[in-house]
Amino acid sequence: MDMQKIEIISDSVERTFEIGSKIGEALLPGDIVCLVGPLGSGKTTLVKGIAAGAGSQKPNLVNSPSYVIINEYQGRFNIFHIDAYRINTEAEFESLGFEDILGPDSVVLIEWADKVASKLDGLDYVRIEMQHKGANSRAIKITGLKNMKNLSF
Ligand SMILES: Nc1ncnc2c1ncn2[C@@H]1O[C@H](COP(=O)(O)OP(=O)(O)OP(=O)(O)O)[C@@H](O)[C@H]1O
Ligand SMILES: [Mg+2]
């Protein structure tokens, strides 16, 4: 299986969405995607694209679940979107039912995944790191994406 590291520079919100949608097309049921990177680095923008690529009909409804913490969308599979920004303890993360939503038929996307790193130990996941490069420029580093054969960004 191809598990190389990909680094892409996006120079617009639209491009980040497009990159996300290609990732979404490549996802397989059971996948977990961990997104890390500072405020405003484009995690939610990418997630909107991922949801679109994964078949969600209403990707514009995708927003950071900052208050509810977890959102669910229906695409080719159940897509759960967690924003761990406001999670401060492992117990809080557990009380979300993280373990219950993991499953062979669902995809779980986690923003601020580094805040719950210890709960992700030992899990196989796609890691996406985002960085500011300029006002409209973001670096997107992807590792662990398995289904990359027909993928070109
Ligand atoms: N190339 C780009 N890709 C994505 N967003 C960009 C880009 N250039 C500028 N932006 C701006 O950066 C911001 C990204 O916001 P977004 O909510 O996606 O980030 P985030 O990482 O989810 O932030 P937070 O940590 O607050 O959840 C938006 O204001 C967007 O307009
Ligand atoms: Mg966000």
| Domain regions of the chain by residue span | 6-143
pLDDT surpassing 90 at residue 88: no
Residue (of 137, 36, 124, 21) closest to 82 by Cα position: 36
**Closest ligand to the CA of 81:** 2
- Model confidence at 2, pLDDT cuts 50, 70, 90, reads low
pLDDT of residue 132: 98
Residue (of 13, 41, 34) closest to 145 by Cα position: 34
pLDDT digits (tens, 9 = 90+) for 74-87: 999 999 999 999 88
- Model confidence at 150, pLDDT cuts 50, 70, 90, reads confident
Q: Which ranges of the chain does DSSP label H, i.e. alpha helix?
A: 13-26, 43-53, 90-95, 98-101, 117-120
pLDDT digits (tens, 9 = 90+) for 11-55: 999 999 999 999 999 999 999 999 999 999 999 999 999 999 999
Residues with CB in 5 Å of ion ligand 2: 43-44, 64, 111
Ligand 1 centroid–CA 123 distance in Å is 27
pLDDT of residue 138: 98
- Does any ligand 1 atom lie closer than 6 A to the CB of residue 45? yes
Predicted TM-score (pTM) of this structure: 0.94
Give the CATH number of domain 6-143: 3.40.50.300
